[in-house]
Amino acid sequence: MDFSLSADHKEFQEWIRGFASRDLDPGISEADRNCRFDKKILARMGELGILGHCLPEKYNGGGLDYISLGLASEELEYTDTAYREILSVHIALFCLPLLSWGTDELKNSYLPKCAAGEKIGCFGLTEPDAGSDVVGIQSHARREGGHYILNGQKMWISLADVADYFIVFAWTDLEKKKARDHSGMSAFLLERCDPGISTGSIHGKLGVRAGNTGWVSMDDVKIPADRLVGNEGEGFKIAMFGIDQGRYTVAAGSAGLIRACLDSSVKYAKERHTFKVPTGRHQLVKQMIAGMVESYEITRLLYLKAGWMKNEGLRCTLETSIAKRFACEAAEKSASNAVQIHGAYGFSDEYPVERHFRNCKAAQIYEGAREIHTIIQADYALGLREDKPLRRNLPPWPFER
């Protein structure tokens, strides 16, 4: 058993860390305070190859492995959740499902532009009245000759107002919709320029204020039939496949948030004096810091295991569920304790722990609420759930040339 990172992984991790420190960290406090998403960051990440680092080289990607995706997610969230969300949505939720389920024509047409950062993709599943209850979505599509006509609305979509491409999910069999049979759901690739698409941003969020979150409306959007992703009726499977990839990046990102809280707390506990000694000398403060250390190490091992399984071409729905739920719970506790250690200063935006505390709550909701993950893991243990073979799988690494 080898738990060490390769030399290439270490080099990549340091490179991403340097990018985040140099290009992202200086402006994050102001961006969060002003609830502003900076589109220039997307251009910079595209220019550096970050937006396609773990996609095959034949699609203009960097050819790196899935562990690298986890490492990048950790380093970006160390600065702020908004920056990790870019990878979660663009790579994990858009590019990887397209890579695995798209036709050669779709992959050749869309992935090179996404890998280069020339175009940005997002994932439209959640609706105003449907989140964890995926079969509760109301969007629908009908076939007319060589086209599909889509109608519906998506809500709480990260990058909705800046994305160029959208993978969206809609019912194509209304009888199955009535029966809540998810085999009547299909996936489609839309472009912002398609007539009938409109988007907007959501304001007033508790956290992730430097990120773009919004809605997507489809009003008789007519697209060619060859922009169906997978086959008709495979939409639910593709949605769950994509969410598996997203959960992995959320878990890895949470490791970064925990580490950020730990580093800030250790620094503050050494500098701040209470009762004539550094705060870090107090036993209960040590207890909170020790908890962050443990949480980081466990979270890191859980996401690295899932990344290794992805590299090997192994199904890891359970493992990503465990990693995601544990990581998000640990991040919330670590952020709360970090605010406590900072005292009154932790209640202000003078220190980053206040921002991390607000940000971490979202991760307990998206990519499957923590309650959903509790049920998933119990069902595996009770034999009520098992992984059935998929028609398409995530390509193992190294990628075929």
Identify the pLDDT of residue 3: 87
Q: At what angle do helices 283-311 and 317-342 cross, to 10 degrees?
A: 160
Residue 401 lies in a domain: no
Note the helical H segments in 49-190.
66-79, 81-87, 96-101, 104-115, 174-178
The tokens for 59 are: 């699609």
Structurally, the chain folds into a number of domains equal to: 3
pLDDT level of residue 231 (50, 70, 90 thresholds): very high
Whether the predicted pLDDT of 1 surpasses 90? no
Q: Average the pLDDT over 201-225 and give the result.
A: 98
Backbone angles phi, psi at 292, to 5 degrees: -65, -40
Q: Are residues 241 and 374 in the same domain?
A: yes
Q: Are residues 338 and 201 in the same domain?
A: no
Residue 373 lies in a domain: yes
Q: What rounded mean pLDDT belongs to the chain? A: 97
Q: Average the pLDDT over 81-96 and give the result.
A: 98
Question: pLDDT tens, 261-290?
Answer: 999 999 999 999 999 999 999 999 999 999
Note the helical H segments in 123-166.
none
From CA 309, how far away is CA 320, in angstroms rounded?
10
Q: Are residues 246 and 375 in the same domain?
A: yes
Residues of the chain with pLDDT > 70, as a percent, come to 100
Question: pLDDT tens, 90-110?
Answer: 999 999 999 999 999 999 999
Residue 392 lies in a domain: no
Q: Are residues 111 and 127 in the same domain?
A: no
Identify the pLDDT of residue 108: 98
Residue 387 lies in a domain: no
Q: Are residues 16 and 38 in the same domain?
A: yes
Identify the pLDDT of residue 337: 98
Q: Average the pLDDT over 384-391 and give the result.
A: 95
Q: Average the pLDDT over 67-84 and give the result.
A: 98
**Paired strand residues for 166:** 122, 190
Identify the pLDDT of residue 306: 98
Question: pLDDT tens, 334-345?
Answer: 999 999 999 999
Query: Domain range for residue 130?
Result: 122-234
From CA 377, how far away is CA 359, in angstroms rounded?
25
Query: Which positions are annotated as active-site residues?
Result: 367
Closest listed residue to residue 65, CA positions, set 51, 47, 76, 53: 53
**Paired strand residues for 169:** 187
Q: Average the pLDDT over 135-147 and give the result.
A: 98
- Domain termination site, one of 61, 93, 120: 120
> How distant, in Å, are the alpha carbons of 14, 282, 328, 366, 375 from that of 249?
18, 35, 11, 12, 21
Closest listed residue to residue 335, CA positions, set 80, 73, 133, 57: 80
- Domain termination site, one of 200, 234, 268: 234
Whether the predicted pLDDT of 137 surpasses 90? yes
> How distant, in Å, are the alpha carbons of 79, 255, 273, 335 from that of 259?
10, 6, 23, 10
The tokens for 79 are: 């600065």
Q: Are residues 21 and 130 in the same domain?
A: no
Whether the predicted pLDDT of 195 surpasses 90? yes
126, 154 in Cβ contact below 8 A?
A: yes
Q: Are residues 367 and 261 in the same domain?
A: yes
Provide the CATH number for the domain around residue 267: 1.20.140.10
Regarding beta strands 213-224 and 197-201, do their DSSP bridges make them parallel or antiparallel, or are they unpaired? Answer: antiparallel
Residue 395 lies in a domain: no
Residues of the chain with pLDDT > 90, as a percent, come to 99
Q: Cα angle vertex 73, ends 36, 50, to 5°?
A: 80
Whether the predicted pLDDT of 401 surpasses 90? no
CB atoms within 10 A of CB 175: 9
Residue type, 113: K
The residues, ordered by sequence, that sit 6+ positions from 103 with a Cβ below 8 Å of its Cβ are 226
Q: Average the pLDDT over 322-347 and give the result.
A: 98
Whether the predicted pLDDT of 2 surpasses 90? no
Provide the CATH number for the domain around residue 70: 1.10.540.10
- Domain termination site, one of 234, 261, 278: 234
3-state secondary structure 18-57: HHHHHHHHHHHHHHHHCCCCCHHHHHHHHHCCHHHCCCCH
Question: pLDDT tens, 14-31?
Answer: 999 999 999 999 999 999
Q: Are residues 12 and 109 in the same domain?
A: yes
pLDDT level of residue 128 (50, 70, 90 thresholds): very high
Residue 205 lies in a domain: yes
Residue 400 lies in a domain: no
Q: Are residues 87 and 131 in the same domain?
A: no
Q: Are residues 72 and 60 in the same domain?
A: yes
Identify the pLDDT of residue 16: 98
Q: Are residues 216 and 296 in the same domain?
A: no
Q: Cα angle vertex 278, ends 272, 280, to 5°?
A: 95
The tokens for 149 are: 């006509």
From CA 342, how far away is CA 339, in angstroms rounded?
5
From CA 355, how far away is CA 358, in angstroms rounded?
5
Residue 286 lies in a domain: yes
